[in-house]
Amino acid sequence: MSTSQYDQVAFDFAGRELVGRVVDYLAAADVSGPDGLLVVDVDGQTYRVEESNAERLDR
């Protein structure tokens, strides 16, 4: 997996839908599941969101 699959994603954070640009991908480091973490830049703030909780937006 890499960030090339993603450009912008939408995700829920504390009841708000945020949209940002994926800047990094962190592979899953344990056996809890296949999800990696997307590192998303939203207006200069970075958020980590599980891949399954992010919706890829069409360009």
Read off the pTM. 0.81
* Greater pLDDT, 58 or 45: 45
Strands 54-56 and 8-13: antiparallel
Q: Any idea what DSSP says for residue 30?
A: S
Residue 54 CB-half CA count within 13 A: 28
Measured distance CA(22)–CA(41) in Å, rounded: 6
pLDDT, tens digit, 9 for 90 and up, residues 13-57:
999 999 999 999 888 766 666 778 999 999 999 999 999 999 999
